[in-house]
Amino acid sequence: MDQQATFEFDQATAISLRSEADRFDIDLSPGWTVGPKPNGGYLLAVAGRAAGEALGGAGSDHRDAVAATVHFLAAPDAGPAEVHTDVLRTGRSASQVRATIVQGERRFVEATFTMGSLSQGPTPPWWTDRPMVDLAPLEECIPIPASRPGAAFEVPIMDRCDLRLDPACMGFAAGRPAGIGELKGWICLADHRPIDALALLFLADSLPPASFDLVQTGWVPTLSMTVHVRAFPMRGWLRIRQAVQVMDHDRFDEVCEIWDGTGRLVAQATQLAGIRLPPDAEPPAHP
């Protein structure tokens, strides 16, 4: 048990090695769910922790997930599960590991990681054209609770992270989406755990779907997600933006970007999700 185990995130992603060298036990936490089902970013972080342990854990040269890809086969339940790992290659500057979350005999989550090492401390990129998202000041932004009156289900992960959405994108909560396909705000973990690569894997999938800013629908299951972790963030609040790029009647993609207080882009994610649009839904006009 390391020093971070007092933080909620580390308790919820704690894995233990079984007698077989490539299998880990995990108790998927009911506190990191959307409705009754574990959040996809949380599951990716669990898989990422196992991938790191399979390479030797904190002592490894390649302890940080720099590229993570995941396909969600089905949604596991909270409770006991296993993570099966397969070290695909150990290299000089990077190593690759596959991690599969299994419950009973069934595979639920298939993730693959390119593991490397991130330099400590925020450093500006050599070059970027991705401007930091423009946000209202923290004190004007709106905390998103785990339970909302009229909501179909609770979102317990909103008690695990502290998400404050910009008022400009809050229309969706009142049934009046802004129609620009974007949600943005400030975020940190609720118990102020420092943010590392594993926590970024979770945060990159912690926002409500940006599709909510275009159209009201039911549940939008993620099919596949990819996260690039680019740097360790400076401590403190992060800026986060999630935006739809292309929406069809059955699938849409959204990208998520996270910046730290220095303006450094620390994580980028893209996901493809399923959706079922109401038959009479009209796309919003571009502002």
Cβ neighbours of residue 66 under 8 Å, at least 6 residues apart?
Answer: 94, 114, 115, 116, 118, 197, 228, 229, 230
Judge whether 212 and 177 are in contact, CB under 8 Å: yes
Question: Quick one: how far is CA 98 from the chain centroid?
Answer: 18
Residue carrying structure tokens 């493809």: 272
Residue 138 as a binder of a second copy (CB under 8 A): the answer is: no
The span from the CA of 39 to the CA of 156, in Å, is 9
Residue 103 as a binder of a second copy (CB under 8 A): the answer is: no
Work out which of 18, 145, 245, 278 binds a second copy, going by CB under 8 A. 245
- Ranges within 249-268 binding a second copy (CB under 8 A): 249-251, 253, 265, 268
Please identify, using beta-carbon distances, which residue of 223 and 234 lies nearer to a second copy.
223
Query: Rounded to the nearest 5°, which phi and psi values hold at 174?
Result: -105, 15
Residue 178 as a binder of a second copy (CB under 8 A): the answer is: no
Work out which of 45, 199, 247, 258 binds a second copy, going by CB under 8 A. 247
- Ranges within 52-71 binding a second copy (CB under 8 A): 66-67, 69-71
Query: Contacts with a second copy: how many residues (CB under 8 A)?
Result: 56
Amino acid at 153: F
The span from the CA of 8 to the CA of 6, in Å, is 7
Judge whether 168 and 135 are in contact, CB under 8 Å: no
SS3 call for 52: helix
Work out which of 130, 148, 176, 235 binds a second copy, going by CB under 8 A. 130
Please identify, using beta-carbon distances, which residue of 123 and 147 lies nearer to a second copy.
123
Residue 284 as a binder of a second copy (CB under 8 A): the answer is: yes
The residue ranges that bind a second copy (CB under 8 A) are 66-67, 69-71, 73-74, 88-89, 91, 93-94, 96, 98, 107, 110, 112-114, 116, 123, 125-130, 180-181, 214, 223-224, 226, 228, 230-231, 243-251, 253, 265, 268, 270, 272, 274, 277, 281, 283-284, 286
